Structure 1
Amino acid sequence: MNRLQSNCLIGALIMAAAAGLFFLLTTWHNPSLKPQETVHQKQVCVQPTDLRSLSAVPQDPGRFAAAMTESLNPVEQQQLEQHFHRDYFTPWTASAPLFDGNMVYTSLQQLTHSTWYGENRLPIEPARLQSLLMLADMEQFPSMHEPGIVTRPAFIRVLPTTRPLYKTPDDFPFDRLQFAEIKPNEPVRLLHTSKDGAWLYVETAYANGWVEPDAVRRVDTAQREQILHAEQVVIVRDFVKVQSEDGDILPQPKIGSLYSLIREEPEYWLVKAAVTGKDRYAVITSVRIAKTDARRHPLHFSPENVTLISAELLKTPYGWGEIYRNRDCSATTRDFFLTFGILLPRNSYQQITSGPSISLSNLSNTDKKARLRELGIPFRTLLYHKGHIMLYAGLFAEQPVVLHTAWALPYKEPGCTEQLFILGKTLFTTLTAGEELPLVKGTSLDRLDSMLILPHYEQTGAKPD
């Protein structure tokens, strides 16, 4: 073999090896690509970048709030404040757990009957779930019954772990163990501890689950009495500055966090905040919050206040269970109404069934819209379909509009697999958002099940007609 032939052979071998390496790398980083397939053989399904049904709706809360005509009278407002105060501080005043321990135990046991996936997209070993259940030690629940207070924002988890539980390998962001975020200064009841002492089981007025123990502290009788009998101010913007009189910066609260008022200064509120003490108990200290970041609680249902809170909520990305300190649909409605003195449960179904809801399930789409125009009160009406809650905001171009926090619109084009048009934030839409797509489940209007007008008569003392 001459030198030219030898060089050609070596070059061919190098090219073949490089091609093989490229193939291995391609299949390694694309696990869904089978060895006999190539990228060019896969169906290309182009996703739209914008939808007319979304872009046509103005993202201006002031425009919708300006149409508000109904407000609460002074008697109704007073009744609402009393009702809220009673419910919000229930973890401190109740003589027994607010949530059924047997139901909690049963629901946790049911987790072991399904296949779940972890953060690495691989199935979770059943032994890992069993070890978490053993760690929870629910056979001994409740092992304590002590009033506490939140000293920093923290996530409530279904099991004592920070690791996720997904239904499918591609189920992000829906970690089924992520439940809610508790707010600074929030009253809680300490009910249980994990076997290793690394987690505490707490309940608030609207949620229950596991939190990291450094996020909560016990409160004594004197501390509780100070807070229970004080006027409250409510945070009206997310992630605001809270500073002690010594200059220390406290963890940033979100909309709906409450602080007991000491006094009002020209530029700031001087309020009480719970911080971590040297022992198991909280220390109540004085902190300053800018007047622009908080208001006296509860806010009145005025166009100005509705515009303020809605505009802030519009900045929120989607976050299942408030992961990353964002919001999902029911966290948005809960925080909105919390500022106005209405305490809602944590999830969408519990919210719509928290009062005398009106069924819409057997109506045509035309009749649903007619019923909304007839009965719906802008920014005081919840709309529900399975798995999703929305706040009715009024009409745009004669179509009902809602404020809601949504993840995505699932749709399926012919010849393509199911895809998601990602919304991923809080926004105003009509109930027919995404109607130009072949939606898998139909529009929200198609699926609309019920409505609830807030506050309902049980909260204000007003008798229904």
Structure 2
Amino acid sequence: MKKFIFTLGLFTTLSTSLFAVTLLSIGERTRSDIDNMPSNQINDTLFIDQDPTAFSQQAEPMSAMEQLDYDDVYNEKFFEPWHISDMNLLEGEKIWQFMFAKRKMYRRFGERIPKSWFQTQIKNSNFDNYNALAQHAITIKHTNLKLYPTNKEFYYNTTRTGEGFPFDYNQNSSVYMNTPLFASHYSLDGRWIYVKTAFAFGWMEVESMAFVTPSFQEVFENNHYYITTTDNLNLIEDE
């Protein structure tokens, strides 16, 4: 295996020299078609338009019927949390995050998290009251879904490549405002609520959501929606 050694020099304004040595090794992999491509040629950038709109104009637009079909599928999935009466999670889906209590986990700056902290979060998760609420709700602002009912971050060993900030294992997903929810139950401290969206489930801060009534759902899920196409618009109440 070939190895290359690079010595980098840095000269400061006080004529002090700093040097660093970097060792690079040529990796090994199975040869593929990419190895047969011509070298030292950039014809793709010379003769192929680098503006992606040139390619999008070649795509055949969807028919109106296709768009409606996809819209129906999307809306059915998006509003699914309002048409269920149970979280309907397997036991493994519900408590898989408890595995982190058995592993070495760390804070952002390398502080080891004691197992007692995880036990506190597991207790606060209050899964004895799973599905006790069974109510429909909606997000009232952009918010997060957490694995545990806390905003505290936790990581694997921050010195390992690919680990540490920003790979927070407590961050399960994020949720836009006006997203339908199914609410299962509150945390023991009452500050968090366990919810399910069309695409993920987890803990959400109570202040990020509101419960909805059947009449609200009927008005909201009306199949007549609009989208803005420019920024910085003013919303004015219709009098």
Normalised-by-shorter TM-score class: 0.7 to 0.9
Match of 1:191 in 2: 184
Helix, strand or coil for the counterpart of 1:233? coil
Match of 1:118 in 2: 107
How far apart, in 2, do the equivalents of 1:220 and 1:153 lie?
A: 21
Match of 2:84 in 1: 94
Residue 50 of structure 2 corresponds to residue 62 of structure 1: no
- Of the three residues 118, 132, 141, the one matched with 2:130 is 141
Q: Deviations over 1:209-266 (max 9, x none)?
A: 11111110011111110111240123567xx5465536xxxxxxxxxxxxxxxxxxxx
Match of 1:152 in 2: 141
Please report the RMSD computed on the Cα atoms of aligned residues, expressed in angstroms.
3.0
- Of the three residues 5, 11, 21, the one matched with 1:43 is 21
How far apart, in 1, do the equivalents of 2:232 and 2:92 lie?
A: 39
Match of 2:157 in 1: 168
Deviation at 1:76, TM superposition (A): 2.5
Q: Deviations over 1:170-205 (max 9, x none)?
A: 421110111222111111111111100011111111
Match of 1:234 in 2: 227
Match of 2:92 in 1: 103
Which segments of structure 1 move beyond 4 Å, counting only runs of 4 or more? 56-60, 240-244
Unaligned 5+ runs, structure 1: 1-39, 47-52, 247-269, 271-285, 287-465
Mapping of residues 58-457 of structure 1, within 5 Å: 60-69=51-60, 71-97=61-87, 99-170=88-159, 171-234=164-227, 241=232, 243-245=234-236
Name the amino acid aligned to 1:95.
Answer: S
How far apart, in 1, do the equivalents of 2:192 and 2:90 lie?
A: 17
Mapped contact 2:85–2:135 kept (Cα < 8 A): no
Mapped contact 2:86–2:131 kept (Cα < 8 A): no
How far apart, in 2, do the equivalents of 1:59 and 1:215 lie?
A: 43
Mapped contact 1:198–1:213 kept (Cα < 8 A): yes
Helix, strand or coil for the counterpart of 1:110? helix
Name the amino acid aligned to 1:144.
Answer: L
Q: TM-score, normalised by structure 2?
A: 0.72
Q: TM-score, normalised by structure 1?
A: 0.39
Mapped contact 1:101–1:142 kept (Cα < 8 A): no
Name the amino acid aligned to 2:98.
Answer: Q
Helix, strand or coil for the counterpart of 1:232? coil
Match of 2:31 in 1: none
Helix, strand or coil for the counterpart of 1:68? coil
How far apart, in 2, do the equivalents of 1:112 and 1:58 lie?
A: 53
1:142 and 1:60, CA in 2 relative to 1: closer, same or farther beyond 3 A? farther
How far apart, in 1, do the equivalents of 2:93 and 2:64 lie?
A: 40
Name the amino acid aligned to 1:232.
Answer: Y
Identical columns (%): 20
Unaligned 5+ runs, structure 2: 1-17, 25-41
Helix, strand or coil for the counterpart of 2:226? strand
Match of 2:8 in 1: none
Helix, strand or coil for the counterpart of 1:192? strand
Mapped contact 2:107–2:154 kept (Cα < 8 A): yes
Count matched residues.
199
Helix, strand or coil for the counterpart of 2:62? coil
1:243 and 1:200, CA in 2 relative to 1: closer, same or farther beyond 3 A? farther
Deviation at 1:105, TM superposition (A): 3.4
Q: Deviations over 1:113-133 (max 9, x none)?
A: 211111231211111111111
Q: Looking at secondary structure, tell me which structure has more helix per residue.
A: 1
Q: Deviations over 1:400-441 (max 9, x none)?
A: xxxxxxxxxxxxxxxxxxxxxxxxxxxxxxxxxxxxxxxxxx
Structure ranking higher on relative contact order (CA contacts 8 Å, 6+ apart):
2
Deviation at 1:96, TM superposition (A): 2.2
Mapped contact 1:101–1:141 kept (Cα < 8 A): no
How far apart, in 1, do the equivalents of 2:187 and 2:170 lie?
A: 16
How far apart, in 2, do the equivalents of 1:154 and 1:191 lie?
A: 18
Deviation at 1:59, TM superposition (A): 7.2
